[in-house]
Copies of this chain bind each other. A is one copy, B any other.
């Protein structure tokens, strides 16, 4: 029922690249240090993002990564699908009996609705918003 660090850190990388969009490449080292993450681990996460065509690499000194499209055109869903696989609450929805199948489909579509309508631009811009007081975190 959880998105793993793959998807989470992957989003972190993409948000950082979105913030620097148009300013040349950003290195993984920079991103790792800014977010207190293992650079080596991030390398393993960005490989699939590169293979999927979401980022482009520039090798050598002063290299790094850049987004292949503007932040408004890349969604959280794009990133999560690459790193976590298809968005679905269970494997093999189609094999379930109708009642449960419908439940999983509704959950899947609800998650999709959020992920596919949140762009990197949204995420990069609103990074300084406050959370409303008294918001319930665990329910």
Chain B residues in 8 Å Cβ range of A102: 126, 129, 131
Number of interface residues of A (CB under 8 A): 53
A contacts with B: majority SS: helix
- How far apart sit A130 and B12, CA to CA, in the bound complex (Å)? 41
Query: Do the beta carbons of B89 and A131 come within 8 Å of each other?
Result: no
Contact yes or no, B137 A11, CB < 8 A = no
Give the oligomeric copy count. Answer: 2
**Is the CB of A118 closer than 8 A to any CB of chain B?**
yes
Which of B1, B126, B128, B130 has a CB less than 8 Å from the CB of A89?
Answer: B1
Task: Indicate if the CB atoms of A89 and B2 lie closer than 8 Å.
Answer: yes
Q: Is the CB of A1 within 8 A of B7?
A: yes
Check if B112 sits within 8 Å of A124, measured CB to CB.
no
Knowing A2-B89, A89-B1, A105-B135 touch, does A99 contact B113 (C-beta < 8 A)? Answer: no
Choose the segment among A24-32, A43-51, A79-87 that binds chain B (4+ C-beta atoms closer than 8 Å). A79-87
Across the interface, do A114 and B123 meet the contact criterion of CB distance under 8 Å? no
List A82-106 residues whose CB lies under 8 Å from chain B. Answer: 84-91, 93-94, 97-103, 105-106
Give min CB distance, A16 to chain B, whole Å: 11
C-beta contact mask, A20-61 vs B, less than 8 Å → 1, else 0? 000000000000000000000000000000000000000000
